[in-house]
Amino acid sequence: MRLATIRTNDGTRAVRVDDDEAVELGHGDLGELLATPGWRELAAAGDGARHPLDGLDYAPVVPQPGKIFCVGLNYRAHILEMGRDLPAHPTVFAKFADALIGAYDEVRLPAGSTAVDWEAELGVVVGDTVRHATREQAQAAIAGYTVVNDVTARDWQYRTTQWLQGKTWEASTPVGPWLVVGEGAGPYELSCAVDGEEVQRAGTGDLVFDPAELISYLSAVITLRPGDLIATGTPGGVGHARRPPRYLKPGSVLVTKIDGIGECRNTCVVG
């Protein structure tokens, strides 16, 4: 089952994306739906207004997550290309909701940066409230999976040892187009292309900390709630690690794909 938030003339709507149409589910967005008890059954049975698939305007899957956690250095190959040791614990940072954009929206490149990089990631959306979750409880709390690109201003990221300022630029992080519910934990194959050239490809089996481990770890820190988003980290192939480095520029077309989940396609503009 695929669930999404779309923009309409009457505001956003949570929908189920079927093979031939999108069906409204009676909620303003997917975050609102996920916070409703029995949301899986409600989504499967939803029978509201219909929309043709052609021309759907996708908002971020959950437009206003209560929390957005991101994980750095979580693919073995990427850790090695950055010259680091495998971590004992996840490297965690945060984003804010204003950084999120839809699957086909424009990525706004920060005007104050000359080193904006791509980071294809598997996104995990929480579907239940969990605190101090075991691995089994964490796995059961996963609502589904989506596509994320953690577009990063490297020159700002490395101004200090804290990464936040390079990671949460306004309107820079594509998420979508939908949430895939009811599928297994993978592994999935993800890729990133810039202007038609593939720059990243990896399987999520290369993750050091998988989604269930991340939910268990993060829920020890703070209660996770429906709609919270976790970006699980990026594999090797980022532009900053290339010699010479390569970065996004105005007009670049960024395509982030996870086989079996979906694809984001975003054109870069100056923010």
Which pLDDT tens digit goes with each residue over 190-201?
Answer: 999 999 999 999
Domain 68-270 fold is Fumarylacetoacetate hydrolase; domain 2 (3.90.850)
Give mean pLDDT, residues 29-58. Answer: 97
Compute the average pLDDT of residues 222-242.
96
Integer Cα distance of 214 and 202 in angstroms: 19
Cα–Cα dist 42/14, whole Å: 11
Q: Token pair for residue 63?
A: 């437009």
Mean pLDDT over 240-253 rounds to 96
How many other C-beta atoms lie within 10 A of the C-beta of residue 114? 12
Question: Is 107 in contact with 249 (CB distance < 8 Å)?
Answer: no
The dihedral over CA atoms of 175, 208, 95, 107, expressed in degrees to the nearest 10, equals -40
Averaged pLDDT for residues 245-249: 97
Q: Residue 240 in contact with residue 113, Cβ under 8 Å? A: no
Give residue 41's pLDDT band: very low, low, confident or very high (50, 70, 90): very high
At a CB cut-off of 8 Å and minimum separation 6, what does 65 contact? 31, 97, 100, 227, 228, 229
CA-nearest of 20, 230, 225 to 123 is 230
For residue 271, the model assigns a pLDDT of 79
**Annotated domain spans of the chain:** 2-58, 68-270
Cis status, amide bond into 177, omega within 30 of 0: yes
Cα separation of 249 and 109, whole Å? 8
The predicted structure's pLDDT at residue 134: 98
Contact 118, 194 (CB under 8 A): yes
Q: pLDDT, tens digit, for every residue of 86-142?
A: 899 999 999 999 999 999 999 999 988 999 999 999 999 999 999 999 999 999 999
176 forms beta bridges with 147
Q: What is the band of 173 on the pLDDT scale with cuts at 50, 70, 90?
A: very high
What is the H or E stretch that residue 212 is in?
Answer: helix 211-221
Q: Quote the pLDDT of residue 227.
A: 98
| Banded model confidence at residue 184, pLDDT cuts 50, 70, 90 | confident
Q: Which residues pair with residue 122 across a beta bridge?
A: 147
Average pLDDT of every residue of the chain: 96
3-state secondary structure (DSSP) of residue 106:
coil
HSE of 193, CA atoms in CB hemisphere, 13 A: 11
Residue 63 has pLDDT above 90, yes or no: yes
Query: What pLDDT shows up at residue 83?
Result: 78
Instruction: Name the pLDDT band for 76 (thresholds 50, 70, 90).
Output: confident
- Residue 183 pLDDT class (50, 70, 90 cuts): confident
- Mean pLDDT to the nearest integer, 178-202: 94
Q: CA–CA separation, 206 vs 185, rounded Å?
A: 13
Given a cut of 90, whether residue 70 has pLDDT beyond it is yes
pTM (predicted TM-score): 0.96
